[in-house]
Amino acid sequence: MSWLPDDFVHPVQVPLPGGAHHLRPVREADAPLDYPAVMGSRERLWSMFGPAWGWPAATMSYEANQADLLRHEKEIAAHQSFNYALLDAEETSLLGCVYIDPPAKDGADGEIAWWVVDRLAGSKIERALDALVPQWIATEWPFEQPRFLGRGISWEDWIALPEHPGM
């Protein structure tokens, strides 16, 4: 049994309030924008995701990042998990990502995490994303018990949870 209903259609573009930025599924072709965004914010991203996901490694190459994006693109197409890029209107700058994954830990039916690049930490754009994501998940995704990693639950508490029975 899939973690999503068979007839679920994932959103292909989600505007942030204000109209200057949007979310869309990440693609392998985003590597020239994604790699500098990730590596330029690597220390802060590692402090958030490193203990749980081991990402992003200090030694991550452009090619490894591109392969990771191709994996994400294939997982999106197969509805296995979702990675949305936060982009400016012209799609010339990748400013963060939103991850929507099947539950790795017990007690949820979806696990959601997100980040913005260092220069947007604490900004109006980050606050708009922080407000949008839970509302978007509640209205557009078929979850009854979504878990917001690093927000509704600390990463340390999430790591300590028992594994999801289906994982």
Q: How many separate domains does the chain show?
A: 1
Instruction: Examine residue 7 and state whether it is found in any structural domain, yes or no.
Output: no
Radius of gyration of the chain (CA): 15
pLDDT computed for residue 165 by the predictor: 80
CATH number at residue 35: 3.40.630.30
CA–CA dist 40, 12 (Å, integer)? 26
pLDDT computed for residue 52 by the predictor: 92
Antiparallel, parallel or unpaired: β 146-148 and 110-116: parallel
CA–CA dist 72, 84 (Å, integer)? 9
Q: Which pTM value belongs to this model?
A: 0.95
Judge contact between 116 and 126, C-beta under 8 A: yes
Instruction: Examine residue 166 and state whether it is found in any structural domain, yes or no.
Output: no
**Mean pLDDT in the chain?**
95
Judge contact between 148 and 157, C-beta under 8 A: no
Confidence class for position 167, pLDDT limits 50, 70, 90: low
Instruction: Examine residue 82 and state whether it is found in any structural domain, yes or no.
Output: yes
Instruction: Examine residue 8 and state whether it is found in any structural domain, yes or no.
Output: no
Instruction: Examine residue 73 and state whether it is found in any structural domain, yes or no.
Output: yes
Instruction: Examine residue 152 and state whether it is found in any structural domain, yes or no.
Output: yes
**End-to-end C-alpha distance for the chain, whole angstroms:** 12
Average pLDDT over residues 143-147: 96
Instruction: Examine residue 6 and state whether it is found in any structural domain, yes or no.
Output: no
Structural domain of residue 35, as residue ranges? 14-160
Residue 2 has pLDDT above 80, yes or no: no
**Model pLDDT for residues 96-131, shown as the tens digit of each residue:** 999 999 999 999 999 999 999 999 999 999 999 999
Instruction: Examine residue 133 and state whether it is found in any structural domain, yes or no.
Output: yes
